[in-house]
Structure 1
Amino acid sequence: MAADAGLTLPALATGFVLSHPAITSVIIGPRTHDQLTSLLDAAGTVLSGDVLDRIDEIVPPGTDLNHDVTHYDPPALTDKALRRR
């Protein structure tokens, strides 16, 4: 998907995290200088609505990977408009 959008995987991941209105920063963990440079360059990545929709198709918002834990469904998971800037 990243290649189809003309992005690297780290840029796609960074853009996805930053697209959520409740997120103000991304925690990165580079091990090399090249990785750091790549991640810093990705900080300005803005994903289109089409790319965000494709991500939502792969892993729908609110997907629970741990079914044994009772959880709260915040409005951002149930109202698509709250997941986009």
Structure 2
Amino acid sequence: MDKQIKELTLLLLYLTSWEEDEFPDGMRRSWKGYPFDALDALSEEDWLRGSKRSKSVYLTDTGIKEAEALMKKYNLIPGSH
């Protein structure tokens, strides 16, 4: 899988995510409307988790940290423009 596709998919998942107050530590969830091969690659990195039957996934702490690093890499930090 192309590295940029994997990175940008993670970024989109992060940017469109929301916090679930019902779960411990305000878990971040996102709808998984992305190609399954990209989602599988992100799961293999342990950046997100979720069941195959679920319509959403949740970002792991590692995935959130990686997404925040990618925001800096792609100059997407709020207020930086």
Please give the range of the TM-score, normalised by the shorter of the 2 chains: 0.3 to 0.5
Structure with larger Rg:
1
Higher strand share: 2
More contact order relative to length (CA 8 Å, sep ≥ 6): 1
TM-score, normalised with respect to structure 1: 0.34
